[in-house]
Each structure stands twice: as C-alpha cells, then as structure tokens.
Chain A
Amino acid sequence: MFSNLIKIVIAATIVDNMVFIRYLALCSYVGITNSIDASIGMTFAVIFVQTLATAITWIIFHFFLRGLEYLQIIVFIFTIASLVQLVEIYLKKNVPSLYKAMGIYLPLITTNCMILAVTLINVDKNYNFIESLVYAIGSALGYGIALLILAGVRERLRVSNVPKFFRGYPLVFASMALIAIAFLGFKGLIK
C-alpha cells in the first residue's frame, strides 16, 4: 500500500513530469518562468488548488455522477472554476497576506489545463481517494520542479548571445527540449 503510494508520487513528479513529458500547462508555464519569485508563488497556488480540486471532483464523480458520466467535462470545469473563485474570496477576507502573495496566479489557475487533466486522469486510472490525492500533490510538485528549473535557466539565457531570429521564445523552447531529454532519462525508473 505504502510503496504503491511512493510509486505514484515518483511517477507523477519525475517519470511522467507534467510539463516535460506530458506537455501540460505550457501556456502558463512559458508566461510565468520569467522570474523565480513568480514561479514559487505559482507553485504553491497550484499545489493548493490541485489538491482541493482533486478531492472535490473525486467525491462528486463517485457519489453524484453515477450513470451521468458524459456530463463529466462540464461538471469538472465548473467545479474547478467555482472552487478557484471561492478560494479567492476566502483568502481575500481571512488571509489577506497569502492572498496578496498569490495575487494574479489564483485566477490564472482556472485555465491551467493541468488541474482539469489531473482530475480526468484520476478518474481514468480508477484511483481511490488517497491515491488520487497523492497523484495530485505529486503532479503539482513536478510542475513546481519544472517551473524552477526553467526559471533558473531563463535568468541565464537573458545575458547569452544568440542569433537575432532565435531570441525570445524559440530559445526558451530549445532549452525546454534539452531539459526534456534529461527527463526522458528517468523513463525506466518505474515499471
């Protein structure tokens, strides 16, 4: 049981890394890795919302959507959107310092495709409640690791001398390709 959970964490964080191997959450990823501070803020916001969203969608799917599985997409996206809104209102009122630290990242999370994808994958893989939560936290951590790596690389890229047409996004994607090659190396880690 316990080793199974550790397996899920390692798979979600490294072997199936959300950004480099599964290609999820790329829009926000490219936008935010401009600075390391922003990346850290986004990581915490994602871990928080991802865990909550997974718990709630798991309960909804297994208790309320019996026989109504085709409504899954609509119900899940509404759950996530309203959850983000609720968290925002709650934090603004009760924990203003945290709200300020998360700032713009909270609303951005609604359109982060990773949140919806993880809830759908959980249903697809038929994980139980604990496994779903562990998978959610693991994948959010994997996203955080990916953010920090690229944010660090981009700080260095800013001063590098490259051909004019390759500056900006092409260079960022080329570096992502190189990091992704490194992540491919973990492939045999979990059977």
Chain B
Amino acid sequence: MRRLILKRLGLMVVMLLGLAVITFTIANVAPGDPARLAAGPDASQEMVEQVRAERGFDKPVPVRFMIYLGQLARGDLGTSVYTGREVSRDIAQFLPATVELVLFAITIAIVFGIPLGVLAAVWQNKATDHGIRLLAVSGAALPMFWLGLMLQWYLALELDLFPLGGRLGVFDDVPPKITGMITVDALLNGDPGTALTAMWHMVLPALALSLPALAAIIRVNRAEMLEVLGRDYVTNARAQGIGPFRIIAVYSLKNAILPTLAMIGLRFGWMLGGTVLVEGVFDFPGVGLYAAKAAVSSDFEPIMAVTLILGAAFMFTNLLIDLAYALLDPRVRNQV
C-alpha cells in the first residue's frame, strides 16, 4: 500500500512537470502581448517596455521557464498581469468556492445517480428504466451553460425559488474565514442560517454542474448492476430465499460500485474544469470564473496556475479512488 502511494505520488510530480511544460509553451507561443496588457491600451511604448523589463517578459523563453520552475518550487505561482495581485492569493480566495460547489454537485450526482442506476437495472426495459435512461442521455447531451441559463430563467427568475447568482445575498455577512468554504465556515461559527443561505445559492449551479456526472454514474452503475445481477452467486442467493433488497443492497451493489467509484473520481476532475462554464452563468466567484477571465485577457500566470492546480486535483482524486479500490477489493490490494 505504501509502495503504491509513493509510486503514484512520484508519477504525479512527473506529470505535473509535463503539464507545466505544456501550459508554459502554449502560453508563450500564443499571440498577445502581456506587457501591453499590463501597461494599458493607452500606454506609450516606453511604458510598455518598462513593464516588459519589470516583469521579465523581455527574457528568452527557456530562461523564463527556468525562472517559472524556480518560482513554482518556492510555491510562488506568479503575479496576475490583469489584477496585479499574487496568483496564489487569488487562488486561495477563489479555489475554496469552487471546491465547495464541486463537492455539493458531486454529492447530488452520487445521491441521485447510484439509486437511479440501481432502479434502472432492477426494472430493466420497464418504463422506469426508459425514463432514467432518458435522463442519463439528456444529462450527457445538454451543454452545462445552457442548462444553467434555463435553470436560472425558470427556477430563479420566473418562479423566484432560488437566487440568480453569487455565493450569498449581497447584504449577507460572510462568516469569518476558516476554510474559505462558506457553508463549512458558517457551521464552524455556529451560524446555520448563513450555511443554508450559501447552500441555497449553490443549488442551481450545482445542478447544472452535476447533470453530466449524474448521467455518467447512472449509466455505469446500471450496466454494472445488470452484470452483477446476472451472476451465479446472485442466482444462488435468490435460490436460498434471501430477500430482494438484501440481494441488491448487500450482495450486488457492493460489487457493482467499484467501477462507479472510478467514474466518480474521474468526474470530480471534469467538474472542476466544468466550473469554467457554470460559474460564469451564475457569477459564482470561483476559480473557474477567474480562469475564464484570465483566458480572455491573455493573463498567462493565472491560467497556468489554475491548470496546474486542477491537474493536481484530478491526479490526487484518482489516487484516492485507486486507494479506495485497494481497500475495497482484496485482489487489487494483493497485486500491489
């Protein structure tokens, strides 16, 4: 087990280095002049050159890459050309919001996805199955931002059930920062009202964000359950007179859940990326919105930092899933 963890962590470092090379290269061959951007559109050429020298944009690309790597090693993610702030500070501010949103969204996907997958398998080719499969297909096909707009229009504007956007109402007090996740911070500060308000603000963006994952979980879980339900030991269990609920919940689901777990891990990474689309629609001040803004501004250091952090989160989640696999399945554990 320890070997597995060390091996995977080592691999993660190599992969992150590769990611840094790729993002740095893309950022530096892309058109756009960050010095001009920083100096402002009216700035004289002399002012632009002053910024270029100050920020090191005048150095050759390999030199800049080495400087960048050195910065990364010290935990310095650079400075945003657009805001002039340290990227690490921006990320510390925006990332908790995104993590909170993604956790909320993945919870929705799991809580609804697994039971729906089971139901579809149990009632295969019945109306319930067809209905659930339609939901799964729609979830995979509908663009997240479009779904977000629809939810916003109908549930927020027309029915006035949810707020249009943001993390809290404009007059709500933000709880003192502990984790940066408002629901958690509010609860830690003994303020369940604010936690509920924050959760209320997350419902629509989380729904939009969760639907593709929900669809994937349903599909995988349904397929696995169908396979498991057809196995001999299940038939044997039935023959022994074990009740259907126990067969499904204990005998089948435990074996069918592993591939679903892997899918959840993968989807967690996709969702982090998906926030770029959803956060814009709901003005949810997370790292996705930050990255989108940086991308249209050719503000490279935030883009590179967000890519690296999301990449690391993606890899780390996969590591956790693999560990969960090993814990749940003795065969995997023994292979390691």
* B is bound to A: no
